[in-house]
Amino acid sequence: MNTLSRFNSFQFARHGDKQNSAFFEEYLQKLLEERDRVGLTDLIQEIDALMITVDPDHSIQYIAELSLMTSYHYLVTLESEQHWTHVLRIDLDSPDLLIREVKDPNFRGIFRSLNEIYPVGARKPNSRYMGEIIRVTNMHEVVKLQEDREFRFFTRDEVRKMELPDNVAISKPSPYTHNIVGYMQRQPGELRVYALGTSTIRSDVQAAYDAAKNQQARLRIDDLILPVDHLATRVYSQNREVAILEYLSWSSYYFWGAYNIWDQNSSTNVTKSVHGLAETKSPAKVFTANNTPYFVNHLGKLASPTETFVRNYGPRLHHVALSVKDGMRDGMENIEFVVDAIAAQGKGFLLDVIGSKEEGLKQIFSNASEHSSLIIEYVQRYDGFDGFFTRDNVAKLTAAAGVEEGVLEAQAKLSQGSGSE
Ligand SMILES: [Fe+2]
C-alpha cells in the first residue's frame, strides 16, 4: 500500500457471520486500496444532507411529522420552477434534510420513473428517498477521479433541469439501490449552501413547524431525540455485494460486517465512515437483502420480507434510524417515553419496543410515513454499547416490517389473485 496515503480503509475489525463470495472479498480489497492510494478516501468526508422527494401538497404535513418525531428544525425553502425544496437542519454536526415537493402532479422526472414500475411504489409516484450529499474537500478532483473509475454523473445542464443544487455534482442513480450520491465542496467550518432557486421562509411551513415543535416540547421529548444513526437500504438478493462495493466506492466508508438473520432469510450489512466520525455526524449506511431470490423461496417455504419489499417498492431506502438519548424519564426508559408520547399523538408503530439493557440496545419501527413511505426507527444504546444491533432485534424488526401495510396488501393480492392479472 502507498505509504503516502493518510488513510487505511483496512484498519477495522470485521464483524458478523455472513459469508461473502470470493469476488466480494477480492474487490473489496482492490477497490479500497485504490481509493486510499488515489486520495479519494481523504477527499470524501461526511454525509452533509439527505434528499427526500414527496408528492404535491405533502411537504408541509411531512415537515410537521418530522418536527414532532425528530430533532430537525425548519430553516428555509428554496423555490424553483417545478419544486419547493425545504431545508431542515439540526446543526452543522449532523446532516441536513432536503425535503423536495413536486409542484405539478403531472410532472415527470427521473425519480418518478424509478417508482413507477413497482406496484406499491407507483401509488406515491413522487415519494422516495433520493440519496445523500457527501461533503468533499475538492469537488473537481473527486469527480475526475470517479469518472476515471467509470462512475457517471449528470451534466451541469441536467442538474439544472432536474432543479437540484447547482453547486452539487450528482451521480447517475445506482442500478442496485436506485439512490443518487451528490458531492458538495465545503471546508470544515464553512456554511452549507445549496445553490437552488429563490430562498424564502414560507409562513405556512413555519406555522406547521412551530405547532409541531411546541407539541414536542410540551411532550418533553425534544431533548431526547438525537440525530440520524443509520440509513437502511433494501436491495434485491442478487445485488447485496455489488450494492455495498459500489457504495464504498462512492463514499469513504468501510465494510463493518454483516449478520445473517436466519429466520427472516436475509442479512444486514453495515458500512461506516473510515474517518472515525460519530454516526450522528455521518450516519452508518446499512444494506439489507434476502439470502435467496423470490423464485426459489416457495421451494423451501422460506421467509422473504426483504425481497417482497423490494419487489413492491423497488430498491430504495427503507428506514431512517434516530438515536434516543440513553437514560430514563419519569421512571421509563427514554425510548419508551418518546414512543408513548408520539403514539398518543396518533402515530402508529409496527411493533412494541424490543431489546433490553442487557443486550445493549432497544429499538422500534414506526409505521411508514404516508408522505415519504419511510419508516422511522428509534434506537437507544445503553452505556455506550458499540455493537450495531442484536440479531434477535433485527429478526423482529424485519418480521414487523414484512407486515407493513403496503407489503402485506400486495402479498394478499398476489396470493388471492393468481391468474386474474
Ligand atoms: Fe435499522
Q: What is the CATH architecture assignment of 42-217?
A: Roll (3.10)
**Are the C-beta atoms of 235 and 289 separated by less than 8 Å?**
yes
Among candidate residues 278, 281, 314, the one with its CA nearest the CA of residue 121: 314
**Cα 376 to ligand 1 centre (Å):** 9
Cα of 320 to ligand 1 centre, how many Å?
7
- Report the distance separating Cα 168 and Cα 183, nearest Å: 5
**Distance from the alpha carbon of residue 321 to the mean position of ligand 1, in angstroms:** 6
Start-end ranges of CATH 3.10.180.10 in the chain?
Answer: 42-217, 223-414
314: helix, strand or coil? coil
Distance CA 188, CA 165 (A): 20
Q: Cα(363) to centroid of ligand 1, in Å?
A: 8
The pLDDT value recorded for residue 81 is 97
- With vertex at residue 269, the alpha carbon angle to CA 366 and CA 373, rounded to the nearest 5 degrees, is 30
Q: What CATH number belongs to 223-414? A: 3.10.180.10
φ, ψ of residue 411 in degrees (nearest 5)? -65, -45
Q: What is the pLDDT of residue 409?
A: 59
Rounded to a whole number, what is the distance in angstroms from the first to the last CA of the chain?
56
With the C-alpha atoms ordered 30, 32, 37, 38, is the resulting torsion angle positive or negative?
A: positive
- C-alpha to C-alpha distance for 378 and 70, rounded to whole angstroms: 10
Interatomic CA distance for residues 120 and 140, integer angstroms: 39
Say how far apart CA 72 and CA 380 lie, in whole Å.
Answer: 18
Distance of alpha carbon 97 from alpha carbon 90, whole angstroms:
9
Phi, psi angles (nearest 5°) of residue 18: -70, 125
Asked if 160 and 166 touch (Cβ cutoff 8 Å), the reply is yes
Residues having C-beta closer than 5 Å to ion ligand 1: 232, 321, 377
Cell 419489499 belongs to residue:
309
> Ligand 1: distance of its center to the CA of 37 in Å?
32
In degrees, rounded to 5, the angle at the alpha carbon of residue 317 between the alpha carbons of residues 177 and 145 is: 45
pLDDT given for residue 416 in this prediction = 47
Distance between Cα 319 and ligand 1 center (Å) = 7
Starting from the edge strand earliest in sequence, which strands make up the sheet with 96-102, in order?
168-170, 180-185, 128-136, 44-54, 96-102, 83-89, 73-79, 198-200
pLDDT at 11: 86
341 Cα–ligand 1 center, Å: 21
Mean pLDDT by runs of 10 across the 421 residues of the chain is: 60 92 97 97 98 98 98 98 98 97 94 94 96 98 98 98 97 98 96 96 98 98 98 98 98 96 94 94 97 94 93 97 97 97 96 92 96 97 83 88 68 44 31
Q: What is the pLDDT of residue 284?
A: 97
pLDDT value of position 3: 42
Distances (CA, A) of 180 to 93, 154, 177, 317, 337: 22, 10, 9, 11, 36
* DSSP secondary structure code for residue 275 in this structure: T
CA of 213 to the centre of ligand 1 (A): 25
- If phi > 0 it is left, if psi is from -120 to 50 it is alpha, else beta; for residue 16 that is left
Classify strands 83-89 and 96-102 as parallel, antiparallel or unpaired: antiparallel
Note the pLDDT of residue 421: 31
